[in-house]
Amino acid sequence: MQRNIPDGPRPTDIYFFATCLVDLFCPEAGMDAIQILEREGIRVHFPENQTCCGQPAYTSGYADEARLVAAKQLDLFPEDWPVVVPSGSCAGMMFHHYPKLFAEDPVRKAQADALSGRVFELTEFLLKVLKVQFKDAGQPTKVTLHTSCSARREMGTHLHARELLGQLSGVEVLMQSHESECCGFGGTFSVRQPEISAAMAGDKADALKKTGAEVFLSADGGCLMNINGTLEKRRDSFRGQHLASFIWERTGKNNGGQA
Amino acid sequence: MTTQPLQFVPGSEFKRRAAKVVADPFLKKSFRGAMDFLMAKRAAQFPDPELLERQRTLAEHIRRYSLARMPQLLEQLEANLVKNGVKVHWAENSDEANAIILGICRQHDAKLMVKGKSMVSEEVELNHAMDAAGIDALESDMGEYIVQLAGEKPSHIIMPAIHKTKQDIAKLFAEKVPGVAYTEDVDALIQVGRDVLRKKFMDADIGLSGVNFAVAETGSLCLVENEGNGRMCTTVPDVHIAITGIEKVVEKLEHVVPLYGLLTRSATGQAITTYFNVITGPRREGEKDGPREMHLVLVDNGRSQAYADEQLRQTLQCIRCGACMNHCPVYTRIGGHAYGTTYPGPIGKIVSPHMMGLAATHVLPGASTLCGACGEVCPVKIPIPDLLIRLREEATHDAKPGHAPLVGQGAGKTTFASLAFKGFAFLYSRPALYRTFVWAATRFRFLTPGKQAGWTDSRTPLKPAAKSLRDLLAERENRGS
Ligand code: SF4
């Protein structure tokens, strides 16, 4: 499934919803995403009061608790600007599940519907809204891409990341076997069913590494923590990097990026 | 032949079984290989994603249309079946279904029943009931025959013996079938099964089959199969008993066609099966073959509970193609037996709670990453991940006011989890408190425990960054960039 994004004037301002994982566990990825957006001439607003999209409670069956948290996020974005999220699963939560979560509350439902229409996963926003054209400034390299399941199946953005990487002339994207298969994170699943989760994460790490890529990329903090944690435990030096950080570095940071 | 009845499978037992399979490299490779094969075969049948999407939408509509009219359609089905000379029975649960079938067997003083493939007969544990009554119930589908010989349960709804290798089967036949020597030649093995079964069809008093679609308008039962054993079971013995779930009813024959097309393509990657039987009553005057007596047992067994709720009703759209399990990364890792339910995999996780109650099954909806691969391939578009989330909620909460509780409602409730999520909501709905938390978590990151339950079994510990994103942004602000 891919969203239809109508052509419109290029936005000047956006809200950045970092997600709790990026805020606390991989802040550089958030910073790099913000810098890419700013380099494109966008004013990035970071609502101070943002916390978490509420997904951990929602997917665990605690809808009331998720609603409490989600309701707070609904109030963060008063202006009609796009909301950009550097994570497929949190974007999916806001795009896909918020309207359902507030189905019985007309006021909140209207807010959720309006928000759902302007939530974008980072790669989707860069490619489809800003229509960026990146210029590669790095040495030739080989990478492989792991797309989170929510990015793939809720946001339809797996092709966007691939297309963005395609703009980088020195970057060859290698395909891993079982490309569309889940890495086994699944939020609380990883601790409720650690054996199954470990088996899935192990297989994913193997498949990514087997491509011979120097690094694997993902636009989701959860998958990155899961697969990187698995590799590190194995004392394997192969690692994953957030797509935003990779792009920021490849395109010469502040110096370049514009075609 | 004895089979083990299904047992109550607590969460810890599920984990133990799953862990055992996960740790077995041989099983792992064989499941992965089998699922890869099935996925590739299915994919080859659907080269055009847009066409597939339209077909799925049509199939979804047909199933929803049928379910919306299910009570009337069932009445119509019964009336037309009776007109065609079929006796119709209604079973509220497994015991009733078994009692009805046993009653028919007794009327005919039956000693031997041959069975075509029927998952509903597995669900009600018919073989066990027949066994207890001294009636020999023999599976005639090759896969079912193998698991029955081994005293096991099917591990997949379409390919019951998918967990068995050629060598396993060779050994099993050599051990259990008199006069058969060990051979790994697949054709020879199939011939062994055929020879045994062929004789039994002639001797059987009763033929039992499942039903894929029950057509209300004509009173016909459609049966999809590849081996021809279904046709034998439903035509050779004098009495044919069909058993199925109440949700299988559709209004018209023309509704069957799109469903059938998707069923076989999704299940085994076949454009069409070798046999498609439309059974509209027993042998008529002047006909040379066919059973002299025919029965249909319509089983509820918890389906009404799913039916009563608009969202959970979608569970009943299922046409039992098995594609969700073929594409499930969890099923691929643990196989069908770990689930402890008749229906394994994603469909099992959403349907078993209605059949067996949440007390026995609440761990299953939780054992998913919600990756969505199942919903993506489901030919009738059941939103399986949404239903898993819904069942997680029902498993951990009392029924909402005004809603009838599900059987076993709230059975998965734990004080720890409800406190944890209360704490989560408390913290994450208070931005100032959350900021303090982030501040402390980054400053005191050296206190992060090195062992984090479940997580660190196979990963290094999660550790907050030295500076949060909001710290980094504040620093940048101060630097005036
Ligand atoms: S839930 Fe869908 S995919 Fe799974 S068996 Fe039923 S019809 Fe097939």
CATH at B273 = 3.40.50.10420
Distances from the Cα of A211 to the Cα of A81, A205, A208, A215, angstroms: 40, 10, 6, 10
Reported as a single tens digit per residue, the pLDDT across B234-287 is 999 999 999 999 999 999 999 999 999 999 999 999 999 999 999 999 999 999
Contact call for A182 and B371, based on CB within 8 A: yes
One domain, residues B67 and B115: yes
One domain, residues B297 and B429: no
Structure tokens at A181: 């298969």
One domain, residues B134 and B280: yes
Distance B61 CA to ligand 1 centre (A): 15
C-alpha angle A226/A230/A236, rounded to 5°?
135
Q: Which residues contact B144 (CB under 8 A, 6 or more apart)?
A: B115, B117, B154, B160, B161
Per the listing, tokens 């946001």 go with: A155
Segment among B46-50, B81-85, B175-179 with least mean pLDDT: B175-179
Please report whether residue B238 resides in a domain: yes
Residue A257 has pLDDT above 80, yes or no: no
Contact call for A22 and B469, based on CB within 8 A: yes
* Band (B11; pLDDT cuts 50, 70, 90): low
Please report whether residue B9 resides in a domain: no
B220-225/B275-279 β-pairing: antiparallel
Per the listing, tokens 């519907």 go with: A113
Residue A155 pLDDT: 81
Closest atom, ligand 1, to C-alpha of B323: 3
Q: Is B319 in the pocket of ligand 1 (CB under 6 A)?
A: yes
A-B contacts (CB, under 8 Å): 192
One domain, residues B351 and B448: no
Residue A153 pLDDT: 87
One domain, residues B342 and B469: no
Please report whether residue B2 resides in a domain: no
One domain, residues B104 and B173: yes
Per the listing, tokens 């797309």 go with: A147
Reported as a single tens digit per residue, the pLDDT across B415-454 is 999 999 999 999 999 999 999 998 888 888 877 888 888 8
Instruction: Classify residue A190 by its DSSP letter.
Output: H
Reported as a single tens digit per residue, the pLDDT across B93-140 is 999 999 999 999 999 999 999 999 999 999 999 999 999 999 999 999
Instruction: Classify residue A172 by its DSSP letter.
Output: E
Reported as a single tens digit per residue, the pLDDT across B208-220 is 999 999 999 999 9
Question: Which structural domain, as residue segments, surrounds residue B43?
Answer: 14-304
Q: Is B378 in the pocket of ligand 1 (CB under 6 A)?
A: yes
How far apart (Å, rounded) are the C-alpha atoms in residues B419 and B158?
Answer: 42
Considering B260, B284, B304, which residue would you say is the last residue of a domain?
B304
Please report whether residue B106 resides in a domain: yes
One domain, residues B195 and B237: yes
Residue A255 pLDDT: 66
Please report whether residue B47 resides in a domain: yes
Please report whether residue B408 resides in a domain: no
Q: Which residues contact A80 (CB under 8 A, 6 or more apart)?
A: A118
One domain, residues B420 and B286: no
Domain total of chain B: 3
With a CB-CB cutoff of 8 Å, which residues 5-64 of chain A face chain B?
18, 20, 22-28, 30-31, 34, 46, 48-52, 54, 56-64
How far apart (Å, rounded) are the C-alpha atoms in residues A205 and A181?
Answer: 12
One domain, residues B299 and B358: no
Q: What does pTM read for this prediction? A: 0.95
Please report whether residue B1 resides in a domain: no
Residue B9 pLDDT: 58
ipTM at complex level: 0.94
Q: Which residue of A has its CA nearest to B461?
A: A229
Reported as a single tens digit per residue, the pLDDT across B299-313 is 999 999 999 999 999
One domain, residues B125 and B210: yes
One domain, residues B157 and B266: yes
One domain, residues B53 and B186: yes
CATH class of A141-255: alpha beta
User: b/e per residue, B77-96, with b = 16+ CB within 10 A?
Assistant: bbebbeebebebbebeebeb
